[in-house]
Amino acid sequence: MAVPPQVLAIDLGTSGMKAALVAADGTVTGWAERPVPLHVLPGGGAEQDPVAWWDALAEVVADLGRAYPEHLRAVTTICSSTQGEGTIAVDAAGEPLTRCISWLDMRGADHLRRQFGGFPAYSGMSVLKIARWLRLTGGMPSVTGKDPAAHMLLVRDTMPEIYDRTATFLNVLDWINLKLTGRTVATVDSILTSWVTDNRDAANIRYAPELVAASGIDRDKFPPIVKCTEVIGSLAPQAADHLGLPASVRVVAGAIDNTAAAIGAGTVRDNEPHLYLGTSSWIAAHVPRKKTDITTGIASIPCAIPDRYLMTALQATAGANLTWLRDKIVEFDDPLVSAGHVSRDEGTIFDAFDKIIPSVPAGADGVLYMPWLYGERVPVDDPNLRAGFLNISLNTTRSHLLRAVFEGVALNTRWMAKSVDKFLGTPASSLVITGGAARSNSWCQIFADVLGVEIRRDADPVTVNARGAGWIGAVGAGLIDFPEISDLARNDHVYTPGPDRARYDEIYTTYTSLHKQLAPIYRRLNRPAGDAG
């Protein structure tokens, strides 16, 4: 049988470059990846080399071509999903003047406060300016300095020669699209965290002149805005040569990773939530209107579906807790360390964990875990929070600690889900679960028991971002429409709440009291040096 038209789906995360071949029905053929280093710098800096991304892309496309030559020849469209909140200064010829300032980079925080300070202030930011951001954009710059609003000011204030030579500031997705087509654009979601757009009309996301003027960045350094499904061009000759593909291949603009995951999970109907379980985690759902809950930090933002918004509630660390447990707690020669690595097909660390979890009863014999390794975002925005075990005894084993970590992340998600239900106006009775950590059967069952809802697992959770990019590309190419995706999404297992649900209801009551009791202690322990507050 002839191979159907394929979308080359690019999935660029912080850990590296990945790509897959995706058909319009969501079938993912092939999966190739290359790591890309993260350069951690003094003073809170974190950068990646965009040229390394581009070189890695050629390598993964070549891998796919060797393994699936017929499918690669059937590629008619390219579409990308990338990490967000990165910033690259680009000159008039399209060449990067800096490495990408990563979403982890906090060096711009002080520059942000100087630009947007005023009285009265909240976290060093003018309350009047915050109100204007919330009204027009639905959110506000991160006071940590981790998004482009701060990154651009960092370049302006500390690299003036670079700033003067900068033709455009681009997010990660935008730079990949520039390399693919030679065209400089931003998507409705990639431009969001520059905090200069009027997002009140989902079908007409545009720059807000007053926000641009207040940003401290020259207006001409912001790129034109396009929809995620727009065909922005065909492969530039240099890109076609670099990737070994015909110049006739069209490029669809694509989306930031959380936008793509919402499509890849198949949750395209209004108020239909999914739970993404990766290094961090989030609950997201498409909604028909712009809305912000300032008390919990939940907002609806521009997304791939042209007349909709994406409600996103972010939990700072989820799977990162397991990585920490594996890499920092178990012995160097422990079999857990060599149990596998992230792969679509091979055994993984989750297989090893799943052999241990069922041996420990629900509640981990009273051990509780708070998964706040990197602070928290929703339903409380508190960077001072830290992780911890509670109620360890002489009878506590590593297996108890492991189960407590799984349960702690799920309990924290239930805490967040209460705010999500309020935002959506109705409690969820069913959730799609996706992301790499969803491969753990034990964890999926724990989530069903703790949340008290049906959990439907994505049949291929590792490729959700690539599949989302594939579907966005297919919509842009006219191969499918967004409403069709609901029937194309595939789940491989449904987990329903079991008898442990009542036990978790009891534990949850205790868990929710921990933040109120511990937050003041964490504030004292983790306040900046010299801060006597």
Q: What is the pTM of this model?
A: 0.91
Q: Helices 441-451 and 349-356: crossing angle, nearest 10°? A: 60
d(CA 334, CA 268): 42
Higher-pLDDT residue of 7, 526 = 7
The DSSP code for 87 is B
End-to-end CA distance of the chain: 70
135 pLDDT above the threshold of 50: yes
Sign of torsion over alpha carbons 143, 144, 150, 156: positive
d(CA 441, CA 457): 9
530 pLDDT above the threshold of 50: no
d(CA 495, CA 456): 6
H or E element that contains 48? strand 45-48
Contact 394, 494 (CB under 8 A): no
Tens-digit pLDDT profile for residues 298-318: 999 999 999 999 999 887 777
Tens-digit pLDDT profile for residues 414-463: 999 999 999 999 888 999 999 988 999 999 999 999 999 999 999 999 99
Tens-digit pLDDT profile for residues 269-304: 999 999 998 877 889 999 999 999 988 889 999 999
Q: Helices 398-424 and 349-356: crossing angle, nearest 10°? A: 100
Q: For the ranges 10-19, 379-388, 404-413, which has the lowest average pLDDT?
A: 379-388
Pull the structure tokens for residue 335. Answer: 């079999």
Residue type, 275: L
Report the percent of the chain where pLDDT is more than 70. Answer: 95
d(CA 491, CA 410): 20
d(CA 484, CA 173): 25
Predicted pLDDT of residue 490 = 95
121 pLDDT above the threshold of 90: yes
Domains and CATH numbers, the chain: 6-261 (3.30.420.40), 267-526 (3.30.420.40)
